[in-house]
Copies of this chain bind each other. A is one copy, B any other.
Amino acid sequence: MARITTSPDFSREEVGLASRNPGMPLEGMRYPVTPVGMHYLLIHFDIPFVDPATYELPITGRVQKPLRLTLDELKARPAVTMPVMMECAGTGRAHLSPRPVSAPWRDEAIGCAEWTGTPLRSLLEEAGLLDDAVEVLFTGHDRGIDQEVEQSYERSLTLEDALREEVILAYEMNGQPLPLQHGFPLRLVVPDWYGMASVKWLKEIKAISEPFEGVQQTVLYHYRQSEEESGTPVTRQNPRALMVPPGMPEYLSRKRHLSAGRTLVEGRAWSGFGPVERVEFSADGGYTWDDAELDEPAGRYAWVRWSHEWDAREPGEYELCARATDAAGKTQPLDNDEVWNQGGYGINGVQRVSVSVG
């Protein structure tokens, strides 16, 4: 479990995780497909080196016919390419008070890359799941210690989730081989879910007959109000809208400065629970809201662009906010602490951008 701190300041460990794990600069939302090198990363242990020439993926466990596939064999299978919005489950954690001590994300643990890979479902069908299989376990080549347990990074999906047709084994990102740090040569991509499900550097896929109870599955990535609760698993991405902060920044504070007049504020919105149906914009810290304009998303699992012409007529200090609502009726709280939980997961309070209009 995460240690909780009431300090407004951040520890050396948190800063270390921030320097290792880049967020997306929010101005990167100008691009419908996040350029390589701007997409967020959360690397639990070290980036492993996996030799693509000798790489083989075993599909084993409770299957009729275990498989072992080279990278070329995987690439020869039917391929799909799709933009997928991905967000770290720890998003927004740094906004909380008290604060769980882990990667101190604010709003930037995001990216929407175009992934190419082969559907997992047809591979599992080819291997033939046995009747007693209940979950599929995905193990990465990355290894380390977390919660005092030595482990490979591994997570499972229920059969129902593993067999969703949009779940793929990806070997390309934005039309190029996966970057080393994004799971080269092969990773799982689970659309709509927070990033922890999309296991990188795949070493093995195994059908199992008992629910997986590893650290990343049962100890971490649960919504809990206290350490004692078993809680509920973190799965789909909560709705969120973010804006490209308008104007120009001050270096240290990142506070925005803007000339008075009309400004087109734009951003992106997404939800793992269904299409975004509404994005609202506020220039007064969330007291009053205007509907923003929504473009068509580039795909079912992509974020959607929104825009709003803000008339910043009067010089002064403003707090800009954006709020998304999805087809399931889920929306964002005004205050991150309304969705506080022990691990600091899925925090989706409205974004707040301070702007000085002069």
Task: Give the B-binding residues of A (Cβ under 8 A).
Answer: 7-23, 25, 27-28, 30-31, 35-38, 41, 43-47, 49, 94, 101-102, 104-106, 108, 143-146, 150, 179-182, 245, 248-254, 257
Contacts and interface: CB of A to CB of B under 8 A. Distances in A.
Contact of A16 (B20, B28, B106, B143): B106
B20 A19 contact: no
Contact of A143 (B12, B41, B248): B248
Contacts of A105: 19
* Copies of this chain: 2
A158 to B, nearest CB: 25
A27 B19 CA distance: 14
Given A8-B12, A19-B106, A25-B46, A37 B179 contact: yes
| Listed residue (A41, A143, A144) with the most chain B CB atoms within 10 angstroms of its CB | A144
Given A9-B7, A253-B13, A19 B145 contact: no
Contacts of A257: 144-145, 150
Contact of A144 (B145, B150, B251): B251
A85 to B, nearest CB: 19
A221 to B, nearest CB: 13
A30 B37 CA distance: 18
B25 A47 contact: yes
Contact of A18 (B11, B15, B45): B15
